[in-house]
Amino acid sequence: MADVTLRAITKSFGDVRIIKGIDLEIADGEFCVFVGPSGCGKSTLLRMIAGLEDITSGSLSIGGREMADVEPAGRGVAMVFQSYALYPHMTVRDNISFGLRMTGHKPADIEARLRRAADMLQLTHLLDRKPSQLSGGQRQRVAIGRAIVREPQVFLFDEPLSNLDAALRVQMRTEIGKLHADLRATMIYVTHDQVEAMTMAGKIVVLNAGAVEQAGSPLELYHRPRNLFVAGFIGSPRMNFVAGTAAPAAHGRIEVVLGDGARVLLDGRGATVTAAQPVTLGIRPEHLTAGGGGLRATVRLAEYLGSETMFYAQLADGSGIAVKADGLAKAAAGSTLDIGINPAACHLFDKDGVAVIHGDLTR
């Protein structure tokens, strides 16, 4: 078991900087998820930890040992690839035990570890099959088995569920979670799916354009996003952003005037703004109510999901706003909707996209 520490890690391909100096601490036994849009460098970062990509500058240590010049097989890490990368000419048994044979383990030891992993992953009856004779979920489990038998200090997952259908993805998500609970190993998991990140992670690292936007627990990122990017990336459906201007008001409060003239009075929580400062108000669809409130919008689309109703509406200044309303709420497309805002749930971002006020409901 080991912690993973990254210090000022960078990666360049020629003149192009892919990873722009990342500092990160991943504690021993933590389940850490790298999340971000495609091309943000999350897979590259994972491959650098695995040793499959060279580190241009900075230091990487696993369990306190500097790893920059250590071969992938010597780092005590195991990786589950997006394509599973099973060896097509080998049986499941050989696929799982190949790494152990390559590192010179004794046959009895290999057999014991193979049995244990196969039991844990319910692969025992499939050991003599070739990968081509397995379903997607089974292949996925073989790939995980191949990682488990090596008893690594750190597991690396590179978008392991993206090739599975929705139902299987949910199932494998819980299986990987259970695996983490059983093995208590450090796991680093890359995904572009923020739902996967929210449900599995102990710690989420949001990456964008080769830099860390924010790292923290799922709820911390949900309630206290540091900037517009994280606010927009974490949470589904996405947070609404409405442009406006802020001004100081009485009792340390802040008054925000939105584009269509609507006013929202926020608890300043110690933040200061200048008069007529341009800001962006962020509010999640689930913190808006249909009816009884300060914002007037025209409904463009209503989705009745039974448990809830999603209204996609348009404010007078043309900006779109989504409202997650009660399942019984009704409004026809084209009708006017009064939207209620919970001021305590409003986030405020300055013109650089940095959060001034967190709409943290947990406080």
Partner 1 sequence: MATHRSSRWSQRRLAPWLFLAPGALLFLLYVIIPIGQSVWISFYDWDGLGAATWIGLRNYADLLDDDSFYTSLRNNVWWLVLYLLAIPAGLAIALFLNQTVTGIRLYKSLFFFPFVISQVVVGLIFSWFYAPDFGLLPRILGFLTGTETAILADERYATFGIIAAGLWPQIAYCMILYLTGLNNINPEQVEAARMDNARGFAMLWHIVLPQLRPATFIALVVTVIGALRSFDLVSIMTAGGPYGSTRVLSYFMYEQSLSEYGTAMGYGAAIAVVLFAIMLVFISLFITRMLMQERNA
- Name the residues that contact partner 1, by CB under 8 A: 50-52, 71-74, 77-79, 81-83, 85-90, 98-99, 102-103, 146, 150
Burial level of 298, CB count in 10 A (0-12/13-18/19+)?
middle
Closest separation between CB of residue 126 and partner 1, Å? 19
Task: Report the candidate in 278, 281, 270 with the shortest Cα–Cα distance to residue 246.
Answer: 278
Closest separation between CB of residue 147 and partner 1, Å? 9
Closest separation between CB of residue 63 and partner 1, Å? 17
Q: 285: helix, coil or strand?
A: helix
Which residue lies nearer to partner 1 by CB, 89 or 184? Answer: 89
- Report yes or no: 155 and 167 within 8 Å, Cβ to Cβ: no
What's 345's DSSP letter? G
Task: Report the candidate in 224, 221, 201, 202 with the shortest Cα–Cα distance to residue 363.
Answer: 224
Closest separation between CB of residue 207 and partner 1, Å? 21
Residue with tokens 């924010």: 214
Closest separation between CB of residue 73 and partner 1, Å? 4
Which residue lies nearer to partner 1 by CB, 50 or 231? Answer: 50
Which residue lies nearer to partner 1 by CB, 50 or 67? Answer: 50
Which residue lies nearer to partner 1 by CB, 86 or 346? Answer: 86
Tell me how crowded residue 251 is: count the other CB atoms within 10 A of its CB.
7
Which residue lies nearer to partner 1 by CB, 77 or 221? Answer: 77
The tokens describing 68, both together, are 């920059």
ω into 343 cis (within 30 of 0): no
